[in-house]
């Protein structure tokens, strides 16, 4: 089912009042969700680092039935923002990535690049 611009959701098989965002790995997410995480391996990361993922690879963001009926509720209730403001912030990710790759910390980026909307 379409949800906003270029997003899709599907109904939770266990709770008809809950929906999930559908990405490129939805089948794997369903298997994880339906098995209760059985077979899922957690591991400690010895050296934390940034990993960049595409929005289409994110699965399992939960939405209520009301949020599905009115997408503005989903975007606005959580932060007071809109889908467009989230997209504007996301459009800056490549620039922030370049700063990180050049060795700047997130704090430095916030302090030194005030033109970015990093809120």
Cβ count near 64 (within 10 Å): 13
- Segment 78-104 shows an average pLDDT of 85
Q: What pTM does this model have?
A: 0.61
Average pLDDT for the chain? 83
Q: Which residues contact 87 (CB under 8 A, 6 or more apart)?
A: 5
Q: Which tokens sit at 95?
A: 């620039």
pLDDT of residue 118 exceeding 80, the answer is no
φ/ψ of residue 40, rounded to 5 = -80, 130
**What is the residue-wise DSSP string for 11-72?**
E-SS-TTEEEEE-TTHHHHHHHHHTTTTT------SS-------GGG----EEEHHHHH-HH
Look at residue 50 in the predicted model and tell me its pLDDT: 79
Query: What would the pLDDT profile of 6-21 be if each residue is shown by its tens digit?
Result: 778 888 877 888 898 8
- Segment 51-79 shows an average pLDDT of 80
Alpha carbon distance 106, 23 (integer Å): 28
pLDDT of residue 87 exceeding 70, the answer is yes
């Amino acid at each position: 089912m379409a949800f906003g611009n270029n997003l899709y959701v599907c109904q939770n098989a266990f709770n008809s009042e809950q929906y999930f965002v559908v990405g490129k790995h939805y089948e794997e997410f369903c298997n994880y969700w339906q098995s209760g995480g059985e077979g899922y391996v957690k591991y400690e990361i010895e050296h934390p680092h940034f990993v960049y993922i595409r929005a289409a690879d994110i699965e399992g963001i939960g939405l209520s039935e009301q949020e599905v009926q009115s997408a503005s509720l989903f975007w606005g209730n959580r932060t007071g923002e809109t889908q467009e403001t989230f997209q504007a912030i996301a459009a800056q990710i490549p620039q922030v990535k370049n700063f990180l790759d050049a060795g700047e910390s997130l704090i430095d980026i916030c302090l030194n690049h005030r033109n970015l909307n990093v809120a």
